[in-house]
């Protein structure tokens, strides 16, 4: 009987479910949406139970498609968005909505603990700066602002570990999502109990650590009834969406790099040591023995999605990019700062705002669309330049996410960065990475090298255009200057109640 593997991706706007054969071919796919709630300025939260309901719908959908059989599914892998802090009681009941990666409600807590403990002490252990988007500040926020929830909390879970728990009944914390926990020693791969105590927290608030490919448990009778899966199907711990996406794009050994083109943007450079930079994000890869030096931005595909919703709803995404293609590189001086929910790396400024610069009566919607595409590429280049300062330089990027389906956008990124970009089967990279983890854990694949060679194929290669590169080097300097000149203004606007 042919083995099949199921991958589950808990994204920001939707969950994606995909079933693959052993050669990485997607046999069935489903996407199920859910909302993000913004109850106050700086807050962005979701209801994990709505994730689970969407997962159940998606699994039932793929199981109804031709060629997919529950009894053929050898294993299940789950990946998810970063930096959740899901408070659950001993029975696994969710006690409150979780702040997600865009949430910055804990900014004052961060300022206080940087002074109390010392930013350098935190960074030396965690390999990451103490920013409100991460998990630790959110745990502290619950402790201070929702003490009645904190007192009932047995464990804090991540997005993927919550779904693993709903499938298996087992609580887990895998290594790739530990990068949001500042008392996790990124080099030693263990909790620092002394640092946890300085935060007034305990590692007991987190589940047992698992390798990402380790089988946590099997599908329970209850989950079987809700999803249609076969009871007893093994479920791997899974991992961070960006890390699973990197694996699903073929990045599994040191020196390889993934470029992310989903709702958010960014990159992940695979390394064989815990090389950190204060302006970037360091985490372990889902592949044992590897780390990822990451740049994560708020303005990726979501920036174009916003533009279409507000200013181009009558057109498809292809229609919008067709308008952009008629505009010269550099957008005739129009520049877009893609800070649509503040910005993460490398500027870490929750007050930053999206900005169009250079508009005039002769500019068209096409200029604005191209500026959006270029602005996202500039944010990628900003992160790559920062990584090079840490000694992590790259030549080739493996692209993933919906944005890489656009030949124009991929070419702009190649021209802006000066890097060759390879495009695997981008639409399924993240769910494929999660499925590969299950395949490793269940013995379908003997190694990560075997899994990648069997499942991942490069469909397109785009080289930078030297002439466009010259134009973009100049535009990049304007992009950087605009932020520096506006940085003080971004901060002062809060005093006027503009947030």
Closest residue by Cα to residue 77 from 432, 447, 450, 448: 432
Topology at the third CATH level for domain 4-241: Nucleotidyltransferase; domain 5 (3.30.420)
Residues 6+ apart with CB under 8 A from 159: 10, 48, 51, 80, 81, 82, 84, 86, 98
Residue 104 in contact with residue 350, Cβ under 8 Å? Answer: yes
Q: What token pair was written down for 57?
A: 């719908």
Can you give the residue ranges of every domain in the chain? 4-241, 251-423+465-499
**Angstrom distance (rounded) from CA 365 to CA 497:** 30
Exposed/middle/buried for residue 498 (C-beta within 10 Å: 0-12, 13-18, 19+): exposed
| Alpha carbon distance 488, 482 (integer Å) | 11
What is the average pLDDT across 1-29?
A: 95
Q: Which residues pair with 214 in a beta bridge?
A: none
Tokens of 269: 């450079």
Task: Evaluate whether 4-241 and 251-423+465-499 have a shared fold.
Answer: yes
Query: Residue 243 has which token pair?
Result: 């890390």
pLDDT confidence bin for 497, thresholds 50/70/90:
low
Whether pTM > 0.85 for this model: the answer is: yes
Structure tokens at 448: 């990560």
Q: Which CATH number describes the domain made up of 251-423+465-499? A: 3.30.420.40
| Confidence (pLDDT) at 291 | 98
Query: Residue 498 has what pLDDT?
Result: 65
pLDDT digits (tens, 9 = 90+) for 433-482: 999 999 999 999 999 999 999 999 999 999 999 999 999 999 999 999 99
Give the pLDDT confidence of 372-402 residue by residue, as tens digits. Answer: 999 999 999 999 999 999 999 899 999 988 8
For residue 427, pLDDT beyond 80? no
- Torsions phi, psi for 461 (to 5 deg): -125, 130
pLDDT digits (tens, 9 = 90+) for 141-185: 999 999 999 999 999 999 999 999 999 999 999 999 999 999 999
Count of C-beta atoms within a 10 Å radius of residue 497:
7
Is residue 265 classed exposed, middle or buried when 0-12, 13-18 and 19+ CB atoms within 10 A define those classes?
buried
């Amino acid at each position: 009987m042919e083995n099949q593997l199921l991958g589950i991706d808990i994204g920001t706007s939707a969950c994606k479910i995909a079933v693959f054969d052993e050669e990485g071919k997607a046999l069935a796919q489903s996407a199920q949406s859910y909302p993000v709630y913004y109850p106050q300025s700086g807050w962005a939260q979701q209801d994990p139970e709505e994730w689970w309901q969407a997962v159940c719908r998606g699994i039932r959908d793929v199981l109804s498609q031709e060629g997919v059989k529950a009894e053929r599914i050898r294993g299940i892998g789950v990946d998810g968005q970063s930096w959740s802090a899901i408070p659950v009681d001993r029975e696994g009941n969710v006690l409150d909505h979780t702040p997600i990666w865009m949430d910055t409600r804990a900014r004052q807590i961060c300022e206080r603990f940087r002074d109390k403990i010392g930013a350098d002490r935190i960074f030396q252990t965690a390999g990451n700066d103490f920013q409100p988007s991460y998990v630790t500040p959110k745990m502290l926020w619950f402790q201070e602002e929702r003490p009645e929830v904190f007192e009932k909390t047995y464990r804090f879970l991540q997005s993927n570990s919550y779904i693993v728990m709903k499938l298996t009944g087992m609580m887990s914390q895998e290594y790739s999502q530990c990068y949001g926990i500042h008392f996790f020693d990124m080099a030693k791969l263990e909790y620092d109990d002394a640092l946890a105590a300085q935060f007034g927290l305990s590692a007991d608030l987190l589940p047992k650590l698992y390798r990402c490919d380790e089988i946590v448990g099997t599908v329970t009778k209850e989950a079987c009834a809700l999803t249609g899966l076969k009871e007893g199907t093994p479920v791997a711990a899974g991992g961070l969406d960006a890390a699973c996406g990197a694996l699903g794009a073929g990045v599994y050994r040191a020196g390889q790099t993934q470029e992310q083109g989903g709702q958010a943007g960014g990159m992940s450079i695979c390394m064989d040591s815990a090389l950190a930079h204060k302006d970037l994000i360091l985490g372990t890869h889902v592949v044992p023995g590897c780390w990822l030096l990451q740049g994560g931005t708020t303005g990726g595909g979501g920036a174009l999605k916003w533009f279409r919703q507000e200013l181009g709803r009558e057109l498809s995404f292809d229609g919008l990019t067709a308008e952009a293609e008629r505009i010269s590189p550099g957008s005739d001086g129009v520049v877009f700062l893609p800070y649509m929910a503040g910005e993460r790396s490398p500027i870490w400024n929750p007050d930053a705002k999206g900005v169009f610069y250079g508009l005039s009566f002769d500019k068209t919607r096409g200029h604005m669309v191209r500026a959006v595409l270029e602005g996202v590429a500039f944010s990628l280049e900003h992160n790559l330049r920062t990584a090079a300062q840490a000694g992590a330089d790259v030549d080739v990027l493996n692209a993933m996410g919906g944005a890489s389906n656009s030949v124009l956008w991929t070419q702009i990124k190649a021209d802006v960065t000066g890097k060759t970009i390879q495009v695997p089967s981008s639409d399924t990279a993240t769910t494929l990475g999660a499925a590969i983890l299950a395949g490793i854990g269940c013995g379908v694949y003997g190694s990560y090298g075997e899994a990648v060679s069997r499942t991942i194929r490069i469909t397109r290669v785009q080289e930078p255009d030297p002439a466009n590169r010259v134009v973009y080097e100049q535009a990049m300097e304007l992009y950087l200057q605009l932020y520096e000149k506006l940085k003080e203004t971004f901060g002062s606007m809060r005093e006027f109640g503009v947030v």
